[in-house]
């Protein structure tokens, strides 16, 4: 069965992570994604590293199932190519530097009359207006501006997320807004502008600590890998040196934890630990008790006892462990996609559907330039002229 976005064409002036992640998910659903890249070097994320069989790990993740068209958008003939592309497109996505698309006439206001059905999605650091509009925004910088760093890490040191969480947040909101806009266009026959900011995406995800610190209240403390306000909820070490994460959510689980895991039923009624608030307040004392019990068990024994008590738990995996995760294997979540350097594994997108998500190759720089231009009506002489004059 074809994907639900089969027949939808996305043109993307994209780089780095936020926009490529959004458009890759649209491609997963069957959309045709034409990725416009700089002639020669392409998306600068191609050069982040070479860890995925010679490809950048970021690029391999966010760019399968796309067509790559190289185009110098400042070239004198670039508009002819762009206009031909947009005449057939449903969505234009861009996350270029602030103001870049307006300077070349690719902002929504410049396009809406010529292409009334076109959906334009702009992804930026801080949005289209306000004092931060022109500021450059990289993932770590937005983690800082959104307050994420202030609540992440230990009491002594802030720590950034280990993945590009601000880019991912913006990419997810771009993806969902584009899907909503496509549905709306069925009723109105009109395109819209979508303005996604990394800051706003991250602040939405920061709503729990925001409300926790409402009206001048103290914010959640940085608690390492432990939960800032629920305890015990975080990492503990068994006597084989392996880490097990466990979490309690309510008083019923606290009672089971004391009775079955700690085998200390008297702790259930101990006033120091009678509520989550008191357990969190007295977490150092409780931690000492827990550590003494766990020192007599290896990680397998500890997990078995937690499971017997129906206490949520997880082993601490590294990346090698995730590649070999038995649950992902059991659910047949891995596929293989082709790339300029040969086949690499790729995880199926989350969600069970009535169709097989698209898992097509990762393109090389400009791999589809000639075929796309021919499709748009450019003859071989036109293509050669663009190439020799630095247009593609």
The full set of domain ranges for the chain reads 9-205+328-388, 233-316
What mean pLDDT do residues 127-140 have? 93
Which tens digits make up the pLDDT trace of 353-381?
788 889 999 999 999 999 999 999 999 99
**Residue 257 pLDDT grade (very low, low, confident, very high; cuts 50, 70, 90):** very high
**Residue 137 pLDDT grade (very low, low, confident, very high; cuts 50, 70, 90):** very high
What mean pLDDT do residues 310-324 have? 95
What pLDDT was estimated at residue 99?
A: 86
Q: Show contacts of 206-215: CB within 8 Å, 24+ apart.
A: 206/146, 206/147, 206/148, 206/151, 209/147, 209/151, 210/147
What pLDDT was estimated at residue 355?
A: 86
pLDDT-above-70 percentage for the chain: 100
Report d(CA 126, CA 143) in Å as an integer. Answer: 12
Q: Evaluate whether the domain defined by 233-316 bears CATH number 3.40.50.300.
A: no
On the question of a common fold for 9-205+328-388 and 233-316, the answer reads no
Q: What are phi and psi of 7, to 5 degrees?
A: 95, -10
Report d(CA 21, CA 64) in Å as an integer. Answer: 10
What pLDDT was estimated at residue 272?
A: 95
State the fold for domain 9-205+328-388.
Answer: Rossmann fold (3.40.50)
170 and 123 Cβ atoms separated by less than 8 Å: yes
**Residue 160 pLDDT grade (very low, low, confident, very high; cuts 50, 70, 90):** very high
Residue 352 in this model has a pLDDT that exceeds 80: no
Global pTM? 0.92
What mean pLDDT do residues 235-251 have? 95
Q: What is the DSSP string of 232-245?
A: SEEEEE-TTS-EEE
What pLDDT was estimated at residue 2?
A: 87
In Å, the largest CA–CA distance within the chain is 86
CB atoms within 10 A of CB 258: 20
Q: What Å distances lie between residue 148 and 37, 50, 139, 219, CA to CA? A: 32, 29, 11, 11
Q: What Å distances lie between residue 348 and 313, 343, 354, 359, CA to CA? A: 25, 15, 14, 8
What pLDDT was estimated at residue 85?
A: 97
Burial 262-280 (b: 16+ CB within 10 A, else e): beeeebbebeebeebeebb
What mean pLDDT do residues 128-150 have? 94
What pLDDT was estimated at residue 263?
A: 96
Q: Output the six-digit token pair for 96.
A: 């270029």
Omega cis (within 30) before 232: yes
Q: What are phi and psi of 244, to 5 degrees?
A: -120, 130
What mean pLDDT do residues 283-306 have? 96
Residue 248 in this model has a pLDDT that exceeds 90: yes
E-strand stretches of the chain: 9-13, 32-37, 66-70, 91-94, 119-124, 193-197, 233-237, 243-247, 312-315, 334-337, 344-347
Nearest to residue 69, comparing CAs of 387, 303, 372?
372
First-to-last CA distance in the chain? 35
Which tens digits make up the pLDDT trace of 50-106?
999 999 999 999 999 999 999 999 999 999 999 999 999 999 999 998 889 999 999
What mean pLDDT do residues 318-322 have? 94
Report d(CA 144, CA 141) in Å as an integer. Answer: 5
Report d(CA 224, CA 245) in Å as an integer. Answer: 12
Report d(CA 175, CA 177) in Å as an integer. Answer: 6
């Amino acid at each position: 069965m074809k994907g639900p976005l089969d027949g939808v064409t996305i043109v993307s002036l994209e780089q780095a992570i936020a926009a490529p992640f959004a458009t890759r998910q649209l491609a997963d659903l069957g959309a045709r994604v034409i990725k416009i890249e700089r002639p020669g070097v392409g998306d600068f994320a191609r050069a982040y590293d070479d860890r995925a069989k010679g490809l950048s790990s970021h690029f391999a993740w966010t760019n399968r199932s796309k067509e790559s068209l190289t185009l110098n958008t400042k070239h004198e003939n670039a508009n002819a190519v762009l206009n031909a592309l947009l005449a057939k497109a449903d969505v234009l996505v861009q996350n270029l530097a602030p103001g870049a698309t307006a300077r070349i006439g690719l902002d929504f206001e410049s396009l809406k009359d010529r292409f009334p059905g076109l959906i334009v999605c702009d992804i930026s650091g801080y949005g289209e207006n306000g004092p931060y509009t022109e500021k450059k925004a990289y993932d770590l910088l937005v983690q800082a501006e959104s307050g994420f760093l202030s609540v992440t890490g230990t009491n002594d040191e802030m720590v950034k997320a280990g993945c590009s969480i601000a880019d991912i947040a913006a990419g997810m909101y771009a993806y969902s807004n584009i899907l909503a806009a496509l549905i709306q266009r069925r009723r109105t026959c009109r395109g819209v502008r979508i303005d996604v900011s990394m800051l706003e995406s991250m602040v939405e995800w920061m709503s729990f600590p925001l409300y926790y610190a409402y009206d001048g209240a103290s914010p959640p403390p940085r608690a390492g890998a432990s939960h800032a306000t629920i305890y015990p909820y975080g990492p503990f070490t068994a006597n084989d040196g392996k880490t097990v994460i466990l979490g309690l959510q309510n008083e019923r689980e606290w009672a089971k934890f004391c009775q079955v895991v700690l085998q200390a039923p008297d702790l259930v009624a101990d006033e120091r630990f009678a509520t989550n608030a008191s357990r969190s307040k007295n977490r150092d004392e409780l931690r000492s008790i827990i550590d003494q019990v766990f020192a007599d068990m290896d990680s397998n024994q500890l997990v078995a006892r937690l499971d017997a008590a129906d206490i949520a738990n997880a082993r601490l995996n590294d990346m090698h462990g995730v590649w070999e995760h038995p649950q992902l294997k059991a659910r047949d979540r891995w596929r293989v996609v082709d790339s300029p350097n040969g086949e690499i594994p790729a995880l199926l997108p989350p969600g069970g559907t009535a169709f097989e998500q698209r898992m097509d190759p990762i393109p090389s720089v400009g791999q589809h330039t000639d075929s796309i231009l021919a499709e748009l009506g450019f003859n071989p002489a036109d293509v050669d002229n663009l190439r020799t004059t630095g247009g593609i």
